[in-house]
Structure 1
Amino acid sequence: MPAIGRVSLLLVLAIQSAAGINDLRNAATGVVASRSADLGRLIASRADLANAVILSEPEYLVEALPYYVKNRLYLARDHKFGSVVIFSRKGRMDSDLGETLRLAHELRNTIGAPVIILLAYRLDEITPDRIYDEGKDWRTFRASAAQIRDFRAATTMIRRFGPARTDESFDVYLLN
């Protein structure tokens, strides 16, 4: 029994040491785990964004934001405000850029606040009409060439955040 304990302890130490070395390497190269803190700093630096509603595609981009901002978060697939995405078949399964833009207009018109849209999909890299799987479950996203054109005409990109270790990297748009 003591031998099993020693081997287990050594295994845990090896795993933790490898994870620590990886974290140091990421810190040295400037790769962060998430861009949520960067978004928080951006919003804090602009008074016009203080009461903006945040809408994202995919939705899970907003889950870390309550640690950094006090803005209201809208979960597009579930059509409600909140910060916890529940992966179930109850919400809308398939979405597109046109729906995201429609919801942004609806939010601005009903609430009267600016709308920030976070997109993990880079508009200049999207293949029109290709269906993108959103990984963690069975939800999909797509954008037609017309939807991309309409989205660009209706929004202003205010920031593109670079890569992150996780999937929390995104472009930030403000609805005009």
Structure 2
Amino acid sequence: IWYENGKKWSEDSKKACLNSFLGIAGFIACFMTVYPTRYDLAAAHPVEMTVKHHFRFFKHLTFFGCKDYLSDVFGHHLFGKIVYLVLEAVAYAAILFSSLVLWGDAFLFSVAALSLIGFSAFFSIVYQGGYRHEALWLMLVVALLWIKKNTDKEPAGNVLNKIGSVSFYTILTIQVILSGLLAFHEVHKPNSMSKQFVDFINKDEILKNSPILSSMDYNLEAIPYYTKRPVFMMTLNDYDVVVPYKNKLDYNLDDLLKTAQKLAVCSKSPPLILIANDKEKAGSSVLNIMDENAEKSVRNYMYNYWTFTVTSEQKKRFLENTREIARYPNGYLEQGFIVYQLNVVRAEQSDCRSK
């Protein structure tokens, strides 16, 4: 641009400088918020995570995340499965052929097609991408279409280009449908039981200020949104509002009990301990580790980086020092839990912050 304008300052030069500045600022912001990796286990250990991943072709842009909800609507039998498979096939085909919307411009089409392949490989081998990651490709195609529209070239208008247009607008329509499903399925089944749990403890003057910890830290992430207070993270051994996914942890029920007892010393309210349910499996009822009649039970969380163990002796000690006050089923996106209140003698409680 500088040379095209005879090495003179122009309106195009101003735009180029502004865009460059924004690009550099964005890069710096991304770098500072990603490195060092604190909140993401996969980014912190990419090589270790690779062997645990399978090939994924932008599945989160399809109806994959709404499979259970669609089954509830259309049934869990053959008809419901056929509807889901047809919708999935349409979505995958739309993604595959969307790059053709840029057919006619070799460079832009190549960028869209190669980035589709590159993202698929990246999300399968390096990092298990979610919806917010895979949707970046859609945003890229939108940007490429904007570039194409602002060039002097006329649209190709051939059959391949029309197939690409239909495919691209189909996948955009699917995103609107997915947004609707995610927004309105709350009526049928809440995403999380955190709101119900917080509403429950807020009705009790003693419990509403209780420290909260869990057998599975990421079950706590939604709670500070409602309480406006941090929760106790076992992986940090401290209060926080975001789960540090990169930390390894090998802990047991005794650790939870001892931690709750320590928190009780510095709290005027008895600590609450949440024991997470297992994920739902087709054809089986939801199980909680506390309901298992086994000498030793183990649960692995967060790509097996967190190992939680419960023995019969630990369970006996735990139940002697706590009492169950509530149970919550699994939500649509989060697992439910059993709530235990630590038995604390009121006279022994104090507020450490006042000392």
TM-score normalized by structure 1?
A: 0.85
Structure 2 CA distance for partners of 1:71 and 1:152, relative to 1, 3 Å: farther
Report the 3-state secondary structure (helix = DSSP H, G, I; strand = E; otherwise coil) of the residue aligned with 2:206: helix
In the alignment, structure 1 segments of 5+ residues that lack a partner are: none
Structure 1 residue 103 corresponds to structure 2 residue 259: yes
Report the 3-state secondary structure (helix = DSSP H, G, I; strand = E; otherwise coil) of the residue aligned with 2:227: coil
1:1-176 map, 5 Å? 1=102, 3=162, 4-18=164-178, 20-21=180-181, 24=184, 26-27=185-186, 30-89=188-247, 93-121=249-277, 122=288, 123-125=290-292, 127-176=294-343
Q: CA deviation at 1:72?
A: 4.1
Q: CA deviation at 1:88?
A: 1.6
In the alignment, structure 2 segments of 5+ residues that lack a partner are: 1-101, 103-160, 278-287, 344-355
Post-superposition Cα deviations, 1:60-102, rounded to whole Å, max 9, x if no partner, equal 111111111134411112111111111123x5x1010011001
Structure 2 CA distance for partners of 1:23 and 1:150, relative to 1, 3 Å: same
Structure 2: which amino acid aligns with 1:82?
D
Q: CA deviation at 1:136?
A: 4.0
State the superposition RMSD in angstroms: 2.2
Aligned residue-pair number: 172
Q: Is the 8 A contact 1:118 1:172 kept in 2?
A: yes
Structure 2 CA distance for partners of 1:38 and 1:128, relative to 1, 3 Å: farther
Report the 3-state secondary structure (helix = DSSP H, G, I; strand = E; otherwise coil) of the residue aligned with 2:305: coil
Q: Is the 8 A contact 2:193 2:334 kept in 1?
A: no
Report the 3-state secondary structure (helix = DSSP H, G, I; strand = E; otherwise coil) of the residue aligned with 1:68: helix
> What's the counterpart of residue 20 of structure 2?
none
Structure 2 CA distance for partners of 1:34 and 1:126, relative to 1, 3 Å: farther
Q: Higher relative CO (CA 8 A, sep ≥ 6), structure 1 or 2?
A: 1
Structure 1: which amino acid aligns with 2:167?
V
Higher strand share: 1
Structure showing greater Rg? 2
Q: How many percent of aligned residue pairs carry the same amino acid? A: 24
Q: Is the 8 A contact 1:53 1:71 kept in 2?
A: no
How far apart, CA to CA, are the structure 2 residues paired with 1:61 and 1:74?
11
Structure 2: which amino acid aligns with 1:17?
I
Q: Is the 8 A contact 1:52 1:71 kept in 2?
A: no
Report the 3-state secondary structure (helix = DSSP H, G, I; strand = E; otherwise coil) of the residue aligned with 1:47: coil
How far apart, CA to CA, are the structure 1 residues paired with 2:195 and 2:299?
26
TM-score normalized by structure 2?
A: 0.45
How far apart, CA to CA, are the structure 2 residues paired with 1:126 and 1:163?
21
How far apart, CA to CA, are the structure 1 residues paired with 2:294 and 2:301?
15
Q: CA deviation at 1:58?
A: 0.6
Q: CA deviation at 1:132?
A: 1.2
